[in-house]
Structures are given as C-alpha cells and as structure tokens.
Amino acid sequence: MKLTVTPEALDWFKREFDLEPGRGIEFFGKAYGSTQVHDGFSVGMSVDQPENPIAKEEIDGMLFFAEEEDDWFFKGYDLTVDYNKELDEPKYIFTEN
C-alpha cells in the first residue's frame, strides 16, 4: 500500500491538528459507510503513534500512516488523501496497486 497526501489535504490537517512529536494521523477501516471499493466500511482517522505501520508518509513534519492490523481494508489498494473543498474535509481515493 502506498499512502499519498495531497498538498490541499496537508493544509487541512495542519489547520485542524496540532500534533505532539512522535504522533501522527492514522487511517483505518471502520464499520458503516462506504468507499469507492468497500460497501459497509469507510475510512476512519485518529491521532496515534505508529507501532507496526504498513504505510507511512511524513510531509512537512506531519506523520500519516496505516497500521498492519488494517491491512485487510487497504490490501490491493493505494490510498490518496485529498481535500473536499465543499465539505471542508478529507476525501479518500483508492486505486488498485
């Protein structure tokens, strides 16, 4: 899995989160909702510290990651985190890898 955060999404995260050193934004699969590739599951996010990341990206001092325990959700896909200006929130784009 490759994790990409667009510059627009990065700006949103910088406005919304003040992260302590060593902590980052974790993306994970959660019940309810849907994505373009999952029915009944959507992308959740939380502030946490990586333990066993399957993907990790640090941009301008901000850490983004997904953990091994969520491999079932991301398996076979790369995730791009973009920004939805109308809703003022991240949007998630899955592409097969």
What are the tens digits of pLDDT across the range 21-76? 778 999 998 877 667 676 667 899 999 999 999 999 999 889 999 999 999 989 99
Could you tell me which of 47, 31, 48 has the C-alpha nearest to residue 39? Answer: 31
Q: What is the pLDDT of residue 34?
A: 63
> What superfamily does domain 3-96 belong to in CATH?
HesB-like domain (2.60.300.12)
- What residues does each domain of the chain span? 3-96
- The Cα–Cα gap between 25 and 10 comes to 11
- β-partners of residue 11 are none
Whole-prediction pTM: 0.90
- The Cα–Cα gap between 87 and 10 comes to 16
CB burial readout 69-93, b (16+ within 10 A) else e: ebeebbeebebbbbbeeeeeebbbe
